[in-house]
Every structure is written in C-alpha cells, then in structure tokens.
C-alpha cells in the first residue's frame, strides 16, 4: 500500500513538473489528484499523460485547475491600479481570455459584419459576395427546382470566394482583452503590436483560451501591454463561455454604440 502511494505521489510530482516546464501551467494538487484518478489504469507514459492533462486544462476554468499558491505565477493583486506607472511581471503567468474587443473598428462596422455573416455574405473590396455556405444552399435550391442548374459552376466560385474572403473573416484590431489568472484576478490587456491569433473570427482566439504572459511583460497604468514576444498562445476554450459570448456580442455592440441599455438601436 505504501509503495503504491509513493508511486502515485512520484507520478503526480513528475506530471506537475512536466506541465510547468513545457507549458508554464502550475496545476493544483487537487486537480492533479482528480485527473490521475480519472485516467485509465495503468497510466500511459509520462509524455502522453502530460499531453492529455494539457488538453484538459485548456478546456477548464483556470481558477479550478491551476494552483494559486505562488505569487510568481499569478498577476499582482493590485495590477489594475492606474496609479502605478509601470511594472513588469516576475514570472510566466498563465491566464484565460474572458472577453476580446476590436478597438480599431467602429461598433457599427462590427455589427454590420456580423449581420453580413448572418445573411451569408462577405465583402471583397467594394463587392459583396456570397459565402461558401450560402452558395451551396443556393445550388441545392437550383438542383431541386431547375435540374441542377449552376452546380458545376458553383464549386469553382465557392473556392475562389473562400480564398478571397478568408482575411475579411478576421477582425483587424488592435484588440483589447480581459484576462484572468488562477486566483481570479482580472486585468485588461491591450495589443500593442500584432499578436498571432489575437483576433476575432477565423482561427482566432476563443473565450476561455489560455495564454501565457512571459516574465518581463510590461503593465502600464493597470493595463497589460501585449506583444508577440511576451505572449505565448496555448489555445483551448471553455465552450459555454464562448457560446454565450458569441450569442451576446451583437447586442453588446449595439448597446455600446447607442448607449441604449436594452440593446436596441
């Protein structure tokens, strides 16, 4: 019994060390114990176990999966104090995205972009075109009522439209985000320069996505300055949070644009 307990403790220690070394994710002892007990027996090799734990943390709420025992892996409690001219984070800090906003585009232009997607349209230059999904629906309708008219021509048009509009499916930025660490401390972050995947739309960040703020990341007047050098995107999302954010985004943009609390223009 003692040997089994020692083996389990050694595995938990090794897994904890691997998550910190590879991903800067200091998993809590409670979370690790639950994770190991829910993993198939006998346990797979450490590299495979580490990858599985990493995947599950990316889909979790960091306030429940990561340790908040060490100040060096957390945001300073007074990080949002605007009276502090500048400070630098002492060590890698894992945080999750609670909100993301494109502050480089007007609220109304973002509402219009959402409505174009709802209608199955995209913009290419000054031209409004149909998206792949919309074209496919149109082709299906033609096939039902016109003997397949337009089906052959549609496939090439679909491919061209998809390539031409891929960039327009991403917000341009710069972006402002709300970040949260394992202790539940929130802070605003601002995209000082282009950060890979830090955008709204195709291949962009989801709500609940995990990123690591590297040691030395600058915080000015209560806002984290985000640069490609200081941000490591781990990925992931929390499905209910992301779904809710997407459902409410258009309403919130209209409220912000009009100052109208009921979300109506």
pLDDT single digits (tens) 114-134 = 888 888 876 555 455 565 554
**Host H or E run for residue 87:** strand 86-88
- 11 CB neighbour count, 10 Å cutoff: 15
The reported pTM is 0.78
* Lookup result for tokens 């100052």: 259
Which residues, at least 6 apart from 205, have a Cβ–Cβ distance to it below 8 Å?
A: 97, 100, 177, 197, 198, 199, 211, 233
pLDDT single digits (tens) 148-204 = 444 444 444 444 444 334 445 788 889 999 999 999 999 999 999 999 999 998 889
Question: DSSP letter string over 216-246?
Answer: T-EEETTEEEE-TTTEEEEE---HHHHHHHH
Percent of residues, the chain, with pLDDT higher than 70: 78
The CATH label, of 2.102.10.10, 2.30.42.10, 2.40.50.770, 2.30.40.10, for the domain at 71-105+170-258 is: 2.40.50.770
pLDDT single digits (tens) 218-251 = 999 999 999 999 999 999 999 999 999 999 999 9
């Amino acid at each position: 019994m003692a040997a089994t307990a020692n083996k389990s403790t050694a595995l938990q220690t090794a897994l904890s060390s691997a998550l910190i070394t590879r991903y800067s994710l200091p998993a809590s002892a409670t979370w690790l114990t639950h994770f190991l007990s829910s993993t198939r027996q006998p346990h797979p090799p450490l590299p495979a176990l580490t990858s599985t734990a990493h995947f599950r943390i990316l889909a979790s709420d960091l306030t429940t999966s990561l340790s908040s025992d060490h100040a060096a892996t957390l945001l300073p409690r007074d990080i949002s104090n605007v009276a502090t001219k500048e400070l630098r984070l002492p060590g890698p800090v894992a945080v999750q995205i609670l909100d993301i906003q494109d502050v480089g585009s007007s609220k109304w232009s973002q509402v219009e972009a959402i409505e174009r997607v709802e209608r199955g349209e995209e913009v290419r230059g000054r031209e409004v075109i149909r998206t792949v999904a919309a074209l496919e629906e149109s082709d299906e309708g033609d096939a039902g009522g016109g003997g397949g008219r337009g089906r052959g021509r549609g496939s090439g048009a679909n491919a061209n439209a998809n390539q031409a509009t891929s960039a327009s499916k991403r917000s341009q930025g710069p972006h402002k985000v709300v970040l949260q660490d394992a202790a539940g401390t929130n802070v605003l972050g601002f995209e000082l320069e282009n950060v890979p995947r830090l955008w709204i739309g195709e291949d962009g960040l989801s709500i609940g996505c995990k990123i690591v703020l590297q040691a030395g990341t600058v915080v000015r007047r209560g806002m984290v300055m985000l640069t490609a050098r200081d941000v490591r995107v781990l990925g992931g999302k929390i499905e209910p949070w992301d779904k809710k954010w997407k459902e409410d985004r258009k309403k919130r943009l209209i409220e912000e644009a009009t100052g109208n609390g009921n979300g109506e223009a």
